[in-house]
Amino acid sequence: MGRKAKRTKAIAYLLLGAVALSGCTTSAKEATPDAPVSVKVAQAQEGALGGKVYTGTVMPDQKVNIMPKMAGKIIDIPVEVGTRVKKGQVLFRLEDKDLKNAVTKADAAVSAAEASIQTAEAARESGIVQATGGAVQSKNGVLQAKNSMIQAQGAITQANSALEQATHAVEDVNTSFDKAKQALNDATTNHDRMKQLFAQGAVSQVQLDQAETALVNAQAAYRSAEIARTNAQEKVAAAKKSLATAQKAYDNASASYQNANGGYENAQKQVGVAQNTAGIEASRQALKQAQVGANIARDTLSDATVVSPINGIVGAKNAEIGEMVSMQSPVLVVANLDTVTMLTYLPADQVNNVQPGSQVQVKASAFDYVTTGTVKNISPLDEKGKGYPVQITVANPDLKLKSGMLAEVRILAPDARRGIVIPSSAIVKEKDKTYVYVLEGDKAKRVEVKTSGERGAEALVTSGLKKGTRVITSNVALLSDGAKIELSQ
């Protein structure tokens, strides 16, 4: 019997059985051998058979509640739920007019502080120049006063020498004066005696004349000695006066020297004061404070623009333009689903069969999707009898896995068989060969495959199929190569 006859006979048996069970009539389309066969399809996936299967829940790898750092009114929010955002991308902006004014004011304070430093430095330089000039003048005054004191000291020395000489001269003159006085007394006495003797005729006129001459000479010598003594005494008085004058000049020069030294020390202090940078340092500290204020103002202005801290997708939006928001409530929720975390719980007899880094198979429960994940961590603490929490990292580049979805997590044994996994209902066996029907347009195409086993509702294909191929999983007994098909709803 040919394949077409077999197919017609099988359809007839199925239709008769359906009529007998339901009591309903079939349509002309279903009874016609050339009518399209209604089928369901599934996508061939890479995977493995074997191992324990557990239920897991999809969670975002990262989930961030986006809240502003200050209260304010939203003036722009360029994203919507489902918008993919990158780290640093603007999510929303708050009204910032007052904040910009604060930045301008803070910048003005920085400029004023910088000008204050320049003024203080200029004043310091000017003060140093003036104080240094004063110190130089004071130093010159010290030198001049010292020279005057040296000159005065020389005058004292000269005056002392002159006084000493004058004193010695007075002593010499006094001696000469005493001798001249004694000689005058002797001459007077001799003249008086000779005069008496001449009157008595005891001496000659010549002798008397000689005595008178001697008296006159003695009187002249006495007057000369008296004049010399007076002159010597006057010289002593003049020398003493010169000494007193020199001493006074020295005292004045010494006082001037002390004053000049004091002035020089004060001038040196003024130089030190002028060189002091305390005023400049105070201005610099004021500048630092102004700069900190400006940075704070800029940071605050920057905080008015809220950006995404992660790469992700907007999952919730809780405010609109014009609304007031605060730091307590999230405006947006951004989640990173490019990689998701699958949370499942393993019983005590299985938890030690996996380690961080172990590969697991993940199959979405809501749709036909199989992928591979890696065990991220295993908690050693049982969670309220549910088992030990295990987190699995799963790549999710096309975002098929959504937060909250359930999935089957298959813990694979090290020797688990791998290949293309399809539903067992897609397998057709004829004699010693195995076939599947794949979707090709509106027709079914029969493809020979090789399998390495079946487990439950799944079969493992080792050759003949590629990942992503859509295979027919229902009514395969009604199909032949090239048969027309239609997808059932």
- The two three-digit tokens of residue 221, written as one number: 């010598």
- Rg of the chain taking only CA atoms, in angstroms: 66
In this structure, are residues 477 and 426 in contact, taking their beta carbons and an 8 Å threshold? Answer: no
Phi, psi angles (nearest 5°) of residue 359: -90, 140
Domain definitions of the chain by residue range: 1-35, 36-47+419-489, 100-281
pLDDT > 90: percent of the chain? 42
The helix or strand, by DSSP H or E, that contains position 372, with its residue range, turns out to be: strand 370-378
Q: Are 82 and 337 in contact (CB under 8 A)?
A: no
Phi first, then psi, for residue 58 (nearest 5°) are -80, 130
Hey, which bits of 185-326 come out as E strands? 305-307, 312-317, 324-325
Q: Is residue 91 very low, low, confident or very high in pLDDT (cuts 50, 70, 90)?
A: very high
pLDDT tens sequence across 52-85 = 889 999 999 999 999 999 999 999 999 999 999 9
Q: What percent of the chain has pLDDT over 70?
A: 92
Tell me the residue type at 176.
Answer: S
Rounded mean pLDDT of the chain?
86
pLDDT at 470 over 70: yes
Q: Quick: pLDDT tens for 257-315.
A: 888 888 888 877 777 777 777 778 888 899 899 899 999 999 999 999 999 999 999 99
Query: Quick one: 219 exposed, middle or buried, by C-beta within 10 A (0-12, 13-18, 19+)?
Result: middle
Number of continuous H segments (helices) and E segments (strands) in the chain: 5, 22
Side-chain half-sphere CA neighbours of 23 within 13 A: 0
Residue type, 374: T
Distance of CA 291 to the CA centre of its chain: 13
* Strands 52-66 and 37-39, sheet pairing: unpaired
Three-class secondary structure of residue 345 per DSSP: strand
CB 141 within 8 A of CB 263: yes
Average pLDDT (330-346) is 95
Per-residue pLDDT at 50 exceeds 90: no
Instruction: Give the DSSP letter of residue 56.
Output: E
Q: Which residues contact 396 (CB under 8 A, 6 or more apart)?
A: 337, 338, 339, 340
CA atoms of 151 and 263, how far apart (whole Å): 21
Q: Per-residue pLDDT tens for 386-445? A: 999 999 999 999 899 999 999 989 887 766 777 888 888 999 998 889 999 999 999 999
CA-based diameter of the chain, in Å? Answer: 226
* Average pLDDT value for residue range 180-194: 89
Question: Token pair for residue 481?
Answer: 């190569």
Amino acid 207 reads: Q
pLDDT of 6 reads: 43
Mean pLDDT, residues 320-337 taken together:
95
**Yes or no: domain 100-281 corresponds to CATH 1.10.287:** yes
Query: What pLDDT is stored for residue 12 in this prediction?
Result: 42
Which position has the higher pLDDT, 153 or 270? 153
Is the distance from CB of 89 to CB of 308 less than 8 angstroms?
yes
Q: CATH topology for 36-47+419-489?
A: 2.40.420
SS (H, E, C) 222-288: HHHHHHHHHHHHHHHHHHHHHHHHHHHHHHHHHHHHHHHHHHHHHHHHHHHHHHCCHHHHHHHHHHH
- In this structure, what token pair is assigned to residue 98? 């007052």
88 pLDDT tier (thresholds 50, 70, 90): very high
Collect all residues with Cβ–Cβ distance below 8 Å to 361 and sequence separation of at least 6.
47, 48, 51, 370, 371, 372, 373, 408, 409, 410, 412
3-state secondary structure of 177: helix
Whether 29 shows a pLDDT value over 60: the answer reads no
Q: Please give the average per-residue pLDDT across 331-337, as a whole number.
A: 95
Beta bridge partners of 428: 435
* Dihedral angle sign, alpha carbons of residues 462, 468, 473, 478: negative
What does the block give as tokens for 308? 């995404």
Q: What is the pTM of this model?
A: 0.54
Is 372 within 8 Å of 392 (Cβ atoms)? no
The bridge status of strand 312-317 relative to strand 305-307 is unpaired
Average of pLDDT values for 442-466? 87
pLDDT band at residue 20 under the 50/70/90 scheme: very low
- Residues 104-121, mean pLDDT to the nearest whole number: 90
Q: Does 13 have pLDDT greater than 80?
A: no
Is the model's pLDDT at 5 over the cut of 60? no
Secondary structure (3-state) at 244: helix
- C-alpha closest to that of 70 among 43, 102, 40: 102
Q: In this structure, are residues 393 and 413 in contact, taking their beta carbons and an 8 Å threshold?
A: no
H or E stretch covering 11: helix 3-22
**Is the CB of residue 245 less than 8 Å from the CB of residue 159?**
yes
How many alpha carbons fall within 13 Å on the CB side of residue 302?
Answer: 7
What is the helix (H) or strand (E) element at residue 332, kind and residue range?
strand 332-346
